[in-house]
Chain A
């Protein structure tokens, strides 16, 4: 279970799938969001291929979170189109997006403190028995427990006892539980919004391990992060936002930290990037 992930931490273990030629998981065209007169996001053309991990970077207010909110249905876009696996989608709300297979790990973790790990993983989509009982149908605790163990094994998450409530778990463990939903439900696309922002060194390592594991399993992922080291370690491609516009789309091996920072701060402009996507 651990062997294939031990080295992939550096992001160079397995040969990367040729991103450009793979199936397109997510595509946006001219994605735009205005809040009144504020142009938070302007004409974003984005593509994510199967098995690809992409980081979204940018300063505060650059449009990263706005971009994610348009994809996940949290907000309604002003203009533009979104395709998921070639199918045009218009999510009315975050639930729609989730049902379509987009699993988002939010900065504020959507976990119920008083429930244990399987309960949280399966919240709202429990395995049940005796379904004719309607709302009083019985829970299949055994099945959910087994599926949870399988899901956690897939992400190599270590949790002392899955039957403990989330309340007293560490920040890293909680984050892992939130992420483990992805692996348990075979989501089509995982989006993580600053998953390690509030974590310590060891906990960050644990989350990064999970991300590597997802990579090895070929699960596509969008990672929003401020952490340059993390981004360079984990992803295939870096997209930089600045003042609501996508200003750079860089393959990791063709760039470095300084280059990315230059785009983030605006020292380098994205003129040469126009229309490339």
Chain B
């Protein structure tokens, strides 16, 4: 028995040997997509040489077309907040379909506690409760909304972890329940006229501020805390996680709770931005949130994915949407193209993984 396999070499932490992070591929794809739209802007005859992202008129102020950049990120910020939560759920090899209707239900409930008593001197025509619920401090609707989200998430997590209901089914049930709650809350009527404080939560670029700050917080949590490590471990090998002493069931409930609280917060921001809450809000939000995570390189079988990837995935969707509008592509074509891009992203990712497996 020779000792060829036995040595001192290699037992180090070598930064240069770390593999090319998955997120770099998405960043690359994002840049390529932007370049394609720039080229289309120059090539398509009806575009008259407009630039997609750069400011060609006022060269002294800034080089970018800031208005477009703002729209790109603003239109994905609210769904992006949901995607931060769904990313964590998918890393545990789960799925959360209930987030879209949860946005609507939370918007209705939170807005009911955020109404002003007087609108232009007249009583609030959309009042849900009596005057006791009018002009409350902004913290009240926010806490009530987040608590509702936490409750829905706890139910989702309990069904998944303790009753072993497949996440798809458990959250599909909650999808319908939440849409029902949103309709039942005010019998289908919209809830409107929030306090100025509440409206501020969603005003201007505030949704982007929330999205990016929450992204930073959850990036740190997933990457550097025990919670994050256990989330990846459960998705990677649930049996190994259990054998290692991780309380898998309790951890899953926590993950679903955080995801639903993020979706509830998205509902708060959305209603504040729109200054109204309607039962039909948040349609397809759950699917777009999942799409952002998928484009961001997450694995639906769990264990792989990151917040940075999901933020980049959100940016890809924002850029594509904005780009399609920029080249004046009709909304119906936009949906078709978006569907193709999501599937293409997964195919590319699988091909990349197979190549990585073959190389090692």
**Cα–Cα distance between A14 and B8 once the two chains are bound (Å):** 22
**Cα–Cα distance between A167 and B303 once the two chains are bound (Å):** 11
Min CB distance B294 to A, Å, is: 17
| A110-B239 in contact (CB<8A) | yes
User: Which one of A114, A137, A162 contacts B304 once the chains associate, using CB atoms below 8 Å?
Assistant: A114
Residue of B12, B254, B357 with highest tally of chain A CB at under 10 A = B12
Interface residue? A123 (CB, 8 A): yes
**Cα–Cα distance between A6 and B7 once the two chains are bound (Å):** 10
Q: Mark A131-165, 1 if CB is under 8 A from B, else 0.
A: 00101111101000100010011001111111110
| A139-B229 in contact (CB<8A) | yes
User: Which one of B3, B10, B357 contacts A209 once the chains associate, using CB atoms below 8 Å?
Assistant: B3
Min CB distance B193 to A, Å, is: 38
**Cα–Cα distance between A137 and B10 once the two chains are bound (Å):** 31
Min CB distance B221 to A, Å, is: 6
Interface residue? B24 (CB, 8 A): no
**Cα–Cα distance between A46 and B183 once the two chains are bound (Å):** 68
Interface residue? B246 (CB, 8 A): yes
**Residues in chain B near residue A123, CB distance under 8 A:** 229, 233, 240-241, 244, 246
| B5-A112 in contact (CB<8A) | no
Segment touching B, from A20-28, A187-195, A199-207, A217-225? A199-207
Residues 12 to 44 of chain B near chain A (Cβ within 8 Å): 12-14, 17-19
| B6-A156 in contact (CB<8A) | yes
**Cα–Cα distance between A149 and B14 once the two chains are bound (Å):** 12
**Residues in chain A near residue B229, CB distance under 8 A:** 115, 119, 123, 126, 139
Min CB distance B169 to A, Å, is: 25
**Residues in chain A near residue B7, CB distance under 8 A:** 2, 156, 158
**Residues in chain B near residue A126, CB distance under 8 A:** 226, 229
User: Which one of A111, A133, A160, A168 contacts B357 once the chains associate, using CB atoms below 8 Å?
Assistant: A168
| B237-A111 in contact (CB<8A) | yes
**Residues in chain A near residue B282, CB distance under 8 A:** none
Residue of A94, A158, A203 with highest tally of chain B CB at under 10 A = A158
**Cα–Cα distance between A138 and B223 once the two chains are bound (Å):** 9
Name A109's closest neighbour in chain B (CB-CB): B240
**Cα–Cα distance between A106 and B8 once the two chains are bound (Å):** 26
**Residues in chain A near residue B251, CB distance under 8 A:** 135
Interface size range of chain A in the complex: 35 or more
**Cα–Cα distance between A167 and B360 once the two chains are bound (Å):** 10
Count of A-B contacts with CB under 8 A?
138
Interface residue? B1 (CB, 8 A): yes
Residue of B9, B11, B230 with highest tally of chain A CB at under 10 A = B11
Name A206's closest neighbour in chain B (CB-CB): B5
| B226-A139 in contact (CB<8A) | yes
**Cα–Cα distance between A233 and B1 once the two chains are bound (Å):** 11
User: Which one of A98, A112, A157, A209 contacts B240 once the chains associate, using CB atoms below 8 Å?
Assistant: A112
Min CB distance A148 to B, Å, is: 9
Interface residue? A32 (CB, 8 A): no
| A168-B226 in contact (CB<8A) | no
**Residues in chain B near residue A205, CB distance under 8 A:** 1-2, 4-6
Interface residue? A9 (CB, 8 A): yes
Interface residue? B245 (CB, 8 A): yes
| A114-B303 in contact (CB<8A) | yes
Q: Mark A109-125, 1 if CB is under 8 A from B, else 0.
A: 01111110001000111
Min CB distance A42 to B, Å, is: 28
Interface residue? B194 (CB, 8 A): no
| B227-A136 in contact (CB<8A) | yes
Q: Mark B204-244, 1 if CB is under 8 A from A, else 0.
A: 00000000000000000100111101101101110111011
**Residues in chain A near residue B244, CB distance under 8 A:** 110, 123-125
Interface residue? A197 (CB, 8 A): no
**Residues in chain B near residue A203, CB distance under 8 A:** 5
Q: Mark A76-104, 1 if CB is under 8 A from B, else 0.
A: 00000000000000000011001100000
Sorted nearest first, the 6 A-B pairs with minimum C-beta distance are A124-B244, A114-B303, A168-B360, A124-B245, A112-B236, A114-B236
A-B contact pairs, 8 of them (CB 8 A): A110-B237, A112-B236, A124-B245, A136-B221, A156-B7, A161-B14, A203-B5, A206-B5
19 additional A-B residue pairs with CB within 8 Å, beyond A135-B230, A139-B224, A156-B7? A5-B6, A111-B240, A112-B236, A123-B233, A123-B246, A135-B227, A135-B254, A152-B11, A153-B8, A161-B14, A162-B12, A163-B13, A163-B14, A163-B17, A164-B18, A203-B5, A205-B4, A205-B6, A208-B1
Residues of B that sit less than 8 Å from A by CB: 1-14, 17-19, 221, 224-227, 229-230, 232-233, 235-237, 239-241, 243-246, 251, 254, 303-304, 356-357, 360
Residues of A that sit less than 8 Å from B by CB: 1-2, 5-6, 9, 94-95, 98-99, 110-115, 119, 123-126, 128, 133, 135-139, 141, 145, 149, 152-153, 156-164, 167-169, 172, 202-203, 205-206, 208-209, 233
